[in-house]
Amino acid sequence: MSITTEIDLGTDIKENLEMILTENQKLASQVDFSQIAEIIPYIQNADRIFVVGAGRTGLALKAAAMRLMHLGLTVFVIGETTTPAIRKGDLLIAASGSGTTSSIVKAAEKSVSAEAKVVSISTTKESPLAALSNHVAILPAAQKQDHGATISKQYAGSLFEQSVLLLTDAIIQTLWKLDGTPAEELWKRHANLE
């Protein structure tokens, strides 16, 4: 990759960050937060929580799993070797922009078969994942193959992936407020084998 003198790289990065933040602000202004709030009781009433997402969305849910663990909840990331079988009383939190990612749909199918609850985060209520879900939270972001830049100028599903991270952080902040555990207590659960 050659550096061109025609572009001020620092300015370009700044403009791109401002575009990303603006897109996330616009998305946040379009979210139905009463629909998002319905996720809270599912989390509070679950015996254990399992999360599943693919690619960068999966990474966002791994970050959410860490914070839920800091709150004292029992959380597993699907695909990890220490993840047990899901069962009745458990909750699967699945995120897929399209709601068609086969591995995520398969995890939801198995969860339903085990009588676990399924909450999904998606861009659509018209998908196989949505049909399997007890609750669907909609993020009005572009799907990864929406190349027209009508919703987002970012590549692929970047806006969805970012909004999953931000949304789950906001949910966790609310759960923390409801729980009231001091940060010093949460810190005791933070990884110390780093």
Q: How far apart are CA 123 and CA 159, in angstroms?
A: 11
Q: Are 43 and 91 in contact (CB under 8 A)?
A: yes
The first and second tokens of residue 109, run together, are 């199918």
Instruction: Give me the pLDDT at residue 100, please.
Output: 95
Q: Is 26 part of any domain? A: no
Indicate whether 187 belongs to any domain.
no
Going edge to edge, which strands form the sheet with 75-77? Answer: 75-77, 49-53, 91-95, 117-122, 135-138
Residue 126 lies in a domain: yes
pLDDT one digit per residue (tens) for the chain, 194 residues:
555 567 889 999 999 999 999 999 999 999 999 999 999 999 999 999 999 999 999 999 999 999 999 999 999 999 999 999 999 999 999 999 999 999 999 999 999 999 999 999 999 999 999 999 999 999 998 665 565 566 788 887 889 999 999 999 999 999 999 999 888 988 888 888 87
Catalytic pick from 161, 184, 185, 194? Answer: 161
What is the DSSP track for 18-37?
A: HHHHHHHHHHHHH--HHHHH
Which residues, other chains included, contact 109 with Cβ-Cβ below 8 Å and sequence gap of 6+? 132
Is the residue at 153 inside a domain?
Answer: yes
- Residue 104: give the domain boundaries: 33-179
161 carries an active-site annotation: yes
Q: What is the pLDDT of residue 144?
A: 56
Give long-range contacts, CB 8 A cutoff, 24+ apart: 141-144.
141/27, 141/97, 142/97, 143/97, 143/98, 144/97, 144/98
The model carries a pTM of: 0.91
Tell me, what CATH number does 166's domain have?
Answer: 3.40.50.10490
Does residue 77 lie in a domain region? yes
> Is 106 a member of any domain?
yes
Residue 6 lies in a domain: no
Q: Which two tokens stand for residue 193?
A: 């084998």
List Cβ<8 Å contacts ≥24 apart for 140-149.
Answer: 140/27, 140/30, 140/31, 141/27, 141/97, 142/97, 143/97, 143/98, 144/97, 144/98, 145/98
pLDDT at 18: 97
Q: How many structural domains are present in the chain?
A: 1
